[in-house]
Structure 1
Amino acid sequence: MTDTDVAIIGGGLAGSTAAAMLGRAGVGTILIDPHPIYPPDLRCEKLDGGQLSILCKTGLADAILPATTFDGSTRDGKAWVARFGHLIDKRPGGQYGILYDDLVNAMRAAIPPSVPRMIAKAVGLTVGDDRQQVSLSNGTSISARLVVLAHGPSVALKDQVGIQRTVTSPCHSITAAFDIKPAHAGAFDFAALTYYPERTPDRMAYLTLFPIRTSMRANLMVYRTMDDPWLRDIRRDPGRSLFALMPNLRRLTGDIEVVGPIKIRPADLYVSKGHRQAGIVLVGDAFASSCPAAGNGTGKVFNDVERLCNIHIPNWFMSSGMAADKIAQFYDDPVKWGYDEAAAAFAYQLRSMSIEEGFTWSLQRYLRFIARGAIGSARRLGMIAIADRVASEEWTQRLRSLGDRA
């Protein structure tokens, strides 16, 4: 039997971030995951300013940013936005591209040596008011004051302690990810591009192009079912399918070549029930999923872990026991609760804005197009250039002072 204060089950982004934070804070922690190196996985592939703001609060941004690829568009206004086939804005960007497995492995590298890593699968779990017991596939048993469940959508351990997963929107969205390059020599005219759908029947949220390493990465977000023939077509001839979906895209990209394999991932929306128990807390996708098209899943993970490790675990460990009323403080945290609610609401709003045909949604799409076009026109006339520059300089200064802020 190995004793520790915190046993983290799952070494993805949530679990690795928690292990790094707790280890740096001197809290006795063990990370349990069967993968010595996190394998390729289609999830988050870029970080935006809001997610970086939360990452800064974890004290780990300085360990992550060197592994990312900055889109280079903060000052030169080359993050293009196109809607209905028209280029409507060239705005400052400032996003950081990184494949999910690279992100997780960079976070794992930030875990201090004081945190043991058990390369095994958790197969048994018993929880209570005092100590929690975790059984591993290698025969090891771990006793901990607190178990952090961070193993994503898996249900095996949840079933053992009576936590249910309720799917609220099956196959809510589908992500198709691949690399592209110009068909002829040269580079794209943009540093990054977000392209919104031309027709609602295409059931598309948007296409986003952004740099990762030396490649231009494409994330295409659609609302379809996994038996839709379109998914078969895009696997067979991705370039043709892409331009069939967005006929006017070629005006901005020119002819393209799809490089490497296409990865496709459906995403269900689900929530946990019966999770308010003694001795165990759920974070990230273990608690509730998010929609990749909404782009707030990584922020949700960072928000969960930051609140848990900076606020709640230090408070919980000031007294004995780990009763359910202690654990409830995390789920009732207004910062966590507010982020979760906003993420869920936006997931449904974006889907309706993208595919619903009614007058109300058509009007909203038209008004959004007009508003963003007006912003783009103002930017071209220099009317908001000063605000862009101030925002850019402020964010640059924040990134330079990450170490102090941590």
Structure 2
Amino acid sequence: MTAEQSPRPLPAGTDTEIAIVGGGLSGTIAAIVLGRAGHQVTLIDRYDVFPREFRVEKIAGDQIVKMRRLGLLDRLSQAAVAFDEIVNVRRGRVLDRTHARHYGIFYDDLVGAMRAELPSTVRFIAGRVSGVEAGAERQRVSILGQGEVTARLLVLATGMGDILKRDLGIERKFVHQRQSLTFGFNLRPAGSGAFRHPALTYYGERVSDGVDYLNFFPAADVTRANLFVFRDHRDPWVKAMRERPRETLIETLPGLVKAFGDFEVIDRVESWLTDITVAENCKRDGVVLIGDAYQTSCPAAGTGVSRLLTDVERLAVHVPRWLASPGMAAGKITQFYDDPAKQAMDTHGLQLAHFRRRLTIDTDLEWRARRQIHFSRRRILHEINKVSPAFAAKLRSLGRPRVEPAA
């Protein structure tokens, strides 16, 4: 909203045009984009300052493109640590190198950086939401000890939480329960040395280990590690990983120390068990779900931020049309869920989650062959690139696109 613009009059009985519940990454970015477009937005989150939470910690690829398009890349680049090369290793040998801009940042720092971009058209309320109601004309959000907020449109950006969605009759369908486990921890070089590379991705050595890959990258003032595995959360290996992370990693990935250097884990190991779910019965009057509130993503696939940014971009296209006419019936909301760009991104997320799991742990003949081809092709192209980068690029364009995590 410019200085010359005045707020649009609100229908009787409403406090704001758009109420967004959930002030994590998806809710905050949605509030920024819709607020910058001149909409009156109220963002509600239980935390005034977002706490440390183990979620997204690396931004790359199309996510950077989308952040730039949304006008948020400058703020991200100021808060994060940038790096431009990742050495990719399997079984102690270099597969190839990724040359592209990446940003390492802890999730709470990322949310804090984005909240600093909230425009004056966004009112932020720190409070616990106790209930929501949605209808064709007006939406209500009840906040403990603070009364209620009424709005024309309700946006739920509540992540994997189910309570508020159930208030509205929205359920979730499990696509794959216990899809993957993710571990996060900080480390430093053992002794007085330094790591061999600022950033490294080490892929699992044996199918039986269930390890997709381990990322090392800079974030804040430490080297951060993210480990993605497909194992049962009750497996004794998981307990060992939490209690003896260095020893467990060295036993599981024997070539790791040679490739990266010896290390010490300097604080506790965080973990995150992911279910792949999709919301059902969500095409309802007055309310729209974005990000993980609608569909969760496999962390190993790295599509979560891409999906939520797509949701925000498409929501910003539909909202002006919705608000231009009275009411907020389900017919309007359906346009968002049926949006081809959103559907394509959601489908891509599910497909890549399926691919990463099967490529890592499937033992039938087809996937053994695909795994061999996948890694051999990368190594061959890397060797060709040393001699003729142009020819290697041409071969990449002719072959099947690499299906790699974005972040």
| Structure 1 length-normalised TM | 0.91
Q: Does 1:201 align with 2:192?
A: no
Preserved CA contact (<8 Å) 1:91 1:376: no
1:370 to 352, 376, 379: 376
Question: What does residue 396 of structure 1 align with?
Answer: none
Q: Following the alignment from structure 1 to structure 2, what is the Cα–Cα distance between the partners of residues 191 and 203?
A: 25
Query: How far did 1:248 drift?
Result: 1.0
Q: Does 1:349 align with 2:355?
A: yes
Question: What does residue 34 of structure 2 align with?
Answer: 22
Aligned AA (1:362): R
Residues 71-109 of structure 1: CA distance to partner in whole angstroms, max 9, x if unpaired? 243xxxxx2111233112233142111111111111111
Question: What does residue 398 of structure 1 align with?
Answer: none
Aligned AA (1:353): L
Preserved CA contact (<8 Å) 2:194 2:261: no
1:366–1:10 distance in 2 versus 1, CA, 3 Å: same
Q: Following the alignment from structure 2 to structure 1, what is the Cα–Cα distance between the partners of residues 84 and 218?
A: 9
Q: Does 1:153 align with 2:163?
A: no
1:380 to 367, 380, 386: 386
Aligned AA (2:15): D
2:106 to 99, 106, 122: 99
Query: How far did 1:63 drift?
Result: 2.0
Q: Does 1:68 align with 2:75?
A: no
Preserved CA contact (<8 Å) 2:84 2:99: no
Query: What pairs up with 1:271-310 in 2 under 5 angstroms?
Result: 271-309=278-316
CA-based RMSD of the aligned residues comes to 1.6
Q: Following the alignment from structure 2 to structure 1, what is the Cα–Cα distance between the partners of residues 245 and 18?
A: 46
Query: How far did 1:254 drift?
Result: 2.3
Preserved CA contact (<8 Å) 1:57 1:306: no
| Structure 2 length-normalised TM | 0.91
Structure 1 consecutive aligned stretches of length 4 or more whose deviation exceeds 3 Å: 384-388
Query: What pairs up with 1:388-403 in 2 under 5 angstroms?
Result: none
Preserved CA contact (<8 Å) 1:72 1:191: no
Residues 277-311 of structure 1: CA distance to partner in whole angstroms, max 9, x if unpaired? 010000001111000010010111111111102x0
Structure 1 residue matching 2:47: 3-state secondary structure: coil
Question: What does residue 10 of structure 2 align with?
Answer: none
Preserved CA contact (<8 Å) 2:106 2:220: no
Structure 1 residue matching 2:121: 3-state secondary structure: coil
Q: Could you tell which deviates more after superposition, 53-62 or 367-376?
A: 53-62
Structure 2 residue matching 1:185: 3-state secondary structure: coil
1:320 to 315, 322, 326: 326
Q: Following the alignment from structure 2 to structure 1, what is the Cα–Cα distance between the partners of residues 23 and 58?
A: 19
Aligned AA (2:133): T
Q: Following the alignment from structure 2 to structure 1, what is the Cα–Cα distance between the partners of residues 166 and 259?
A: 50
Query: What pairs up with 1:93-242 in 2 under 5 angstroms?
Result: 93-242=100-249
Structure 2: unaligned runs, 5 residues or longer: 1-12, 395-407
Preserved CA contact (<8 Å) 1:378 1:384: no
Q: Following the alignment from structure 1 to structure 2, what is the Cα–Cα distance between the partners of residues 212 and 82?
A: 21
Aligned AA (1:48): A
Provide the aligned length of Structure 1 versus Structure 2: 382
Relative CO higher for 1 or 2, CA cutoff 8 Å, sep ≥ 6? Answer: 1
Query: How far did 1:221 drift?
Result: 0.3
Q: Following the alignment from structure 1 to structure 2, what is the Cα–Cα distance between the partners of residues 72 and 15?
A: 29
Aligned AA (2:210): R
